[in-house]
Amino acid sequence: MEKKKNNEQLSRRNFIRNVAFGTGATLLLTNFSLIRWHVDEKGILRGIVVDYDKCTGCRTCETACSASNHRVWINGEEMEGLGNPWLANIRVHRFNPDVDVPNVCQICPDAPCIAACPVEPDPDTGRRALYRDEEHLTIKCDTDRCIGCGNCAITCATERSGVIIPNPETGSPERMCTLCSGDPHCVKACPYGALSLVEVDTNREFFGMSPKEIARELMKKYYKTGKEEVSHG
Amino acid sequence: MDKLYGYSGSILEVNLTSGTIEKVQVSPSDAKNFVGGRGLGMKILWDKVKEPGMDPFAPENPIMFMPGPMTGYPFASSSRTCVVTKSPRTSPVHSTYKHASTISYSNMGGFIGPEIRFAGYDGIVVTGKASKPVYIKIENENVEICDASEFWGMGTDAFDIKFNESLGDNRFQSCYIGPAGENMVPMACVLNTAARAAGRGGTGAVMGSKNLKAIAVKGTGFPEVADHKKYLELLDKTRTKFRDDPMTAWWRANGTAGALTMMSEASREAVKNFREGTFTDVSLIGAEAARAKAWQRDFACYACPLACKKSGIVQKGLFAGLVHDGPEYETGTMYGSNLLVNNLEGLLKEIYAGDDYGLDIISTGNAIGFLMEAFEKGYIDKDFVDGIDLTWGNVRAVLDMLQKITYREGIGDLAGHGVKKLAEKVGRDSHKFAIHVKGHELAAHNVHVNPGMGISYVSSNRGACHLNGANPQEQNSTAMVDSLGVCLFAAGSYGENGLEDIITMITGHSYPTEEYMKTGERVFNLEKMFNYREGFTREDDVLPDRFFEEPLTMGTGKGAVLDRKEFEELLTTYYTDRGWDPVTSRPTDEKLESLGLEFTME
């Protein structure tokens, strides 16, 4: 009960703060190339990149992601789940005129989501509730320590692509890419070869942009006649 | 009761007159015997429509949105939803009932079928009539009937954008009607994603008759399968199979539009109101032209590796800037070759208009083709068609006609009722080139050189249908595909026992090939009994005279014409193979008993 109250206070205060900051931060950070990642120290940072020219919006990635990350036990044996797309970390956003934008955690080098976590770092591990996993360098949440304030989700939405969604019951962040322990199933399952696992590059086109922003750019690219606006009839 | 694997076990029933919303259990025996989709929809229709002759626009006529037990599982293109209702398009030669009509079923891909399943339903059944425009909003258990007044009158493209904005969450999937459906134009269809249509059989008109603009659905669940381990194994196997199948590349390259030039060369296309099978200008509107001049991107339905939908933009001319998908084989033929339209940009504008109004492009292409022919022959004058210059290939005239049909103005009102009604009005021998079976127009496949397609058309339970199949085996198999919720285009690549193994794994009921085919046969025969009860008999299973009297004059099929006697013999063989009485076309009692359809015997 106390936790919940605490959450609400934190949430409200930080929401205001983050929205204010977030907008500013987006403007400041449109040049993502300023973000640094120390490869020598931490290893190569990898993430999923979408080739929008190849994506057809079929959502096979959602089902593969869900099956891999929501495993089940059947007769004492652990195996992949059914692939319920609702549970997927990668999510395809559909737009009209026809454009589909799979949205997946960018595993940002500067991880503004972690920076926004108000939980004090653990003295032993240095981890906040949201932290970068040492093995695969993905973003993980320690649900035992998470207070469910939603700051990470707000920050992700305002400063990056908005992939983090708080669990509706606990408020803990979900949908951060796990890279399926280094072997991402979405990449393997995509029938169109639209997904790949590559080194994170903040200079890459569309890095850190929301699906809506990306869709706007893609519409300009694909449906262009020289006229400014596309027509609907 | 045994757990129903592969099903949520519930049908959502909404009555728009009373506002009642109920979850009704699916009977396990119905699930086993009629599967889902088209089959289960037919069974529910039979249970709900107890007497023949019901007006399709009566509030009691249920309109059903039926995914199948495969829908939503990520097997190749398990994306389909079958819309099932009593048809506003068909009528028999003789019947004691004024409103006699067949069943109508029409299925669409996209994403709404899977979402209905994720929300926890094996189907949605809507009856009644709302007092004002409404939409149904479904989020798992939460179902609301909402005011749709602000959306009424909107074309499907603008609606798709505005509706999604108003729902505020792009995880919602929806299907809806355009102005044609609202105005109860019998040729209206149901669409989703502003392009994918349950095009045939007037389903949109029935939706409009209920003041139902749209259904929006979002869900978080997923029904369990009977054998999870096998599921993963078959999923893997299917993905590999489709990756290696050469057909996958064929679909991806050009979608169905790839068939335009191929079919024209084989004299199998519908050209000039089905007078010819070859269109000399087909290369101007075919896949290569579209790829060069318009197409930008490929799109796929849920979990589909085929991506047969091609979207693009008109680059030049009067319609520059228009963004839409197509042409496909059907839309390119019916609004292109069949009307001698050889202008790709104009064709794309027509297709956009047809989709935006929410019209069945196959049937409207027929109605306009019929009028163009009657106009050319001098059977009708310009006054008859409200001053429109209905000469072959005139894009402006086609667009004017589509608008008139949608808003039921002047000639448009009659045209929207189909070529059968048009021929009654035009008179003389115009019925010979009114291209329909039972009032439902033929699709883009000509039959002069293809008697098997003729059988498919005449024996289809929804009126003329090109997907029906040329013989009982094909038809039973298609009935199963439509009931499983998988796409017919993808079904061909599943291989021997592919679908049988999957449905067995999902449901836990064994469907060996014999049982699988028998189940399709059961669905087909129940549809047939519904139609027979309405008064449809062998005399309704006829092709237009054109195909027997006017040989093709050009192309590889030059000179081809069907022989009436041979075709009738072919049909007799068909009935005999089906175990139906060749005189009346009624399934025999023995056949019905063997299929467990005793309840249809009066």
Report whether pLDDT(B506) > 60: yes
A52-82 pLDDT tens trace: 999 999 999 999 999 999 999 999 999 999 9
pTM for this structure?
0.95
Phi/psi at A126 (5° precision) = 75, 5
Task: Choose among A131, A172, A129: nearest CA to A148.
Answer: A172
Rounded Cα gap, residues B112 and B411, in angstroms: 35
CB within 8 Å: A64 and B243: no
At B531 the three-state DSSP class reads: helix
Rounded to a whole number of angstroms, the distance from the CA of A183 to the nearest CA of chain B is: 16
B137-161 pLDDT tens trace: 999 999 999 999 999 999 999 999 9
B3-30 pLDDT tens trace: 899 999 999 999 999 999 999 999 999 9
Instruction: Please check whether residue B160 touches A, CB under 8 A.
Output: yes
Asked if B331 contacts B294 with a C-beta cutoff of 8 angstroms, the reply is no
pLDDT at A35: 81
Which residues make beta-bridge pairs with B269? B445
User: Model confidence at B303, in pLDDT bands (50, 70, 90)?
Assistant: very high
Q: Output the six-digit token pair for B4.
A: 């129903």
pLDDT at A119: 97
* Top-confidence residue, B372 or A43: B372
Identify all chain B residues contacting A186, using CB atoms and an 8 Å cutoff.
Answer: none
Asked if B353 contacts B399 with a C-beta cutoff of 8 angstroms, the reply is yes
Report whether pLDDT(B277) > 60: yes
- The complex's ipTM? 0.96
pLDDT at A9: 44
B548-571 pLDDT tens trace: 999 999 999 999 999 999 999 999
Residue for token digits 């934008």? A101
pLDDT at A21: 43
CB within 8 Å: B220 and A225: no
Residue for token digits 């191929």? B262
Rounded Cα gap, residues B25 and B17, in angstroms: 22
Q: What is the 3-state secondary structure (H, E, C) of chain A?
A: CHHHHHHHHHHHHHHHHHHHHHHHHHHHCCCHHHCCCCHHHHCCCEEEEECCCCCCCCCHHHHHHHHHHCCEEECCEEECCCCCHHHCCCEEEEECCCEEEEECCCCCCCCHHHHCCCCCCCCCCCCCCEEECCCCCCEEECCCCCCCCCHHHHHHHHHCCCCCEECCCCCCEECCCCHHHHCCHHHHHCCCCCEEEEECCCCCCCCCCCHHHHHHHHHHHHCCCCCCCCECC
Give, to the nearest 10 degrees, the angle between helix B344-357 and helix B156-167.
50
At B371 the three-state DSSP class reads: helix
Task: Choose among B277, B262, B264, B363: nearest CA to B546.
Answer: B277
Rounded to a whole number of angstroms, the distance from the CA of B581 to the nearest CA of chain A is: 46
User: Model confidence at B111, in pLDDT bands (50, 70, 90)?
Assistant: very high
CB within 8 Å: A58 and B232: no
Report whether pLDDT(A2) > 90: no
Instruction: Please check whether residue B164 touches A, CB under 8 A.
Output: yes
Instruction: Please check whether residue A85 touches B, CB under 8 A.
Output: yes
CB within 8 Å: A191 and B322: no
Mean pLDDT of B452-464: 98
Q: Is A168 exposed, middle or buried, given 0-12, 13-18 or 19+ CB atoms closer than 10 A?
A: exposed
Instruction: Please check whether residue B294 touches A, CB under 8 A.
Output: no
Rounded Cα gap, residues B121 and B142, in angstroms: 12
CB within 8 Å: A233 and B352: yes
Of the partner residues A57, A80, A231, the one whose CB lies closest to the CB of residue B321: A231
Up-side HSE of residue A135: CA atoms within 13 Å toward CB?
A: 7
The answer for A 210-229 residues in CB contact with B (under 8 A) is: 222-225, 227, 229
CB within 8 Å: A233 and B302: no
CB within 8 Å: A79 and B111: no
β pairing state of A99-103 and A130-132: unpaired
Asked if B224 contacts A82 with a C-beta cutoff of 8 angstroms, the reply is yes
Percent of chain B past pLDDT 70, that is, above it, reads: 100
Q: Which chain B residue is nearest to residue A233, measuring alpha carbons? A: B322
Written as one string, the DSSP assignment of B314-352 is --SSTTTTBEEE---HHHHHHTTGGGT---HHHHHHHHH
Rounded to a whole number of angstroms, the distance from the CA of A84 to the nearest CA of chain B is: 6
Report whether pLDDT(A11) > 70: no
CB within 8 Å: B225 and A82: yes
Q: Which chain B residue is nearest to residue A229, measuring alpha carbons? A: B321
User: Model confidence at A228, in pLDDT bands (50, 70, 90)?
Assistant: very low
User: Model confidence at A34, in pLDDT bands (50, 70, 90)?
Assistant: confident
Residue for token digits 């099932």? B84
Rounded Cα gap, residues B282 and B280, in angstroms: 6
User: Model confidence at B102, in pLDDT bands (50, 70, 90)?
Assistant: very high
Rounded to a whole number of angstroms, the distance from the CA of B121 to the nearest CA of chain A is: 15
At B541 the three-state DSSP class reads: coil
Cα B380 versus chain centre, distance? 31
Question: Cα separations (Å) of B330 from A135, A160, B418, B468?
Answer: 53, 43, 17, 15
CB within 8 Å: A229 and B296: no
Identify all chain B residues contacting A191, using CB atoms and an 8 Å cutoff.
Answer: 239, 242-243, 248, 300, 304-305
pLDDT at A38: 83
Average pLDDT of every residue of chain B: 97
User: Model confidence at A17, in pLDDT bands (50, 70, 90)?
Assistant: very low
Which residues make beta-bridge pairs with B145? B136
Question: Cα separations (Å) of B558 from B19, B124, B174, B295, B444?
Answer: 58, 48, 46, 33, 18
Rounded to a whole number of angstroms, the distance from the CA of A63 to the nearest CA of chain B is: 7
B310-334 pLDDT tens trace: 999 999 999 999 999 999 999 999 9
DSSP character at residue B600:
G
